[in-house]
Amino acid sequence: MIRCIAIDDEPLALKQIAGYIKKTPFLELEGLCESALQAKEMLEKFVIDLMYVDINMPDLSGMEFVRMLENPPLVVFITAYSEYAIEGFRVDAIDYLLKPVSYSDFLKSANKVKTWFDALQQKPTEVTSNNDFLFIKSEYKILRINFDDIKYIEAMSEYIRIHLTNTKPVMTQISMKVIEDKLPENRFMRVHRSFIINLSKISMIERNRIIFDGTVYIPVSEQYKSKFQNYIDKNFLT
């Protein structure tokens, strides 16, 4: 079961989301909060896996609340304004729901959350590595992947996809955390919940997005923005 709380200053909207959570078999409602401050208290007392967070709240917005949390649970933002979607993904939200929320949209989003949650619970596959390459299992084979050949790594539910130069991507069933720990820190960096990049393969940076080959745009999320900016500053020619 995925333990949830819902945060919204509108009682009717809060009641609706609570009803949707109760209708969904793999979700468990732990509490309802009418403000971010109430939610913070709940997070301190209980183990919460998922938060449904209204963005537009007085005193402290949902976006500000999530940003202030050191280790937030999975987050789905709820908003009446679609322009908040991009901003939501910058703080590593799994999804966002646009008001008025239908149950079909809620269930589609909940299934997306479940995919993420199940992947996080899986026991990771062992990866062997050294300073120049690593071995991974893919399609019943053990493949050698040279670090120089990796452009970036993308999370794909319970899998990762390793994008390579001059060959097709390779998929393997391990977590981003496992692969991140095996990569040399001076050559690779996590810039988003879903992306690890090879720093030497960056061709351009534009509006908090890293551009590969002029066609692939990878966002830098708020969680990793400071670390990435430090890397840019150290290598910036003025």
Q: Indicate whether this model's pTM tops 0.75.
A: no
Distances (CA, A) of 199 to 18, 40, 139, 147: 43, 36, 28, 11
* Helices (H), ranges, 83-221: 84-90, 103-121, 176-182
Domains 2-121 and 128-234 share a fold: no
Q: What is the domain partition of the chain in residue ranges?
A: 2-121, 128-234
CATH of 128-234, one of 3.40.309.10, 1.10.1040.10, 2.40.50.1020, 2.40.40.20: 2.40.50.1020
Average pLDDT, the chain: 86
Distances (CA, A) of 95 to 86, 168, 171, 195, 229: 10, 28, 23, 16, 26
CATH assignment, 2-121: 3.40.50.2300
Tell me: pLDDT of 204 over 60.
yes
Tell me: pLDDT of 216 over 90.
no
Return the percentage of the chain with pLDDT > 90, whole number.
Answer: 47
